[in-house]
Structure 1
């Protein structure tokens, strides 16, 4: 399996389901890695990825269609909330199910990916 086949880089279901909030210190302008242009202030030091504040949710960093050739345009620069989202977790399976995608199958070792 190549890295381009990794479910987290081709699925996008979580990018269509969940609000993504993070600390202002994760923004590039504050020394972090998240591009400022893709986020907005929520309150004080809390920021949110654009597109995740409304319904239907669609993170502005997502490129392509959910489940079909979708990829996070800032995967290496994604906020901590996205980094902490666990592949194969109950929330992952719920998001995939809502978008007509099957649950991920074990073993997880078949899905190598650097954090």
Structure 2
């Protein structure tokens, strides 16, 4: 069985988390309105108020071990940049490469 065949394609992000641990600059706020930003717990927002707080490259809202089992502790409140990253898209593939994880099939509509 290939590594790709072992990936749970129904919920690949819960076994990955690479995009949430790729770069301290990635989980930035862009188009969120004030209400959405106010809903994110203050302890998870960086000092510049420009994005999520990170520990090294890892988002503080990420729980679990990258490449094994992960979850976003504020999934329903996550910033737009997090919502935009989709399994198998170029950003996902780039983040997975950093952790030596196989690429996922691109799930975006053709």
TM beyond 0.5: yes
**2: distance between equivalents of 1:86 and 1:69?**
17
| 1:58 and 2:64 are equivalent in the alignment | no
| 1:37 and 2:40 are equivalent in the alignment | no
TM-score (norm 2): 0.72
Q: Any gaps of 5 or more consecutive residues in structure 1?
A: 110-115
Helix, strand or coil: the match of 1:70? strand
Q: Any gaps of 5 or more consecutive residues in structure 2?
A: 1-7
The alpha carbon displacement at 1:27 in A equals: 2.0
**2: distance between equivalents of 1:82 and 1:35?**
16
The alpha carbon displacement at 1:86 in A equals: 2.8
TM-score (norm 1): 0.69
Match of 1:16 in 2: 21
In angstroms, what is the RMSD of aligned CA positions? 2.4
**1: distance between equivalents of 2:47 and 2:50?**
4
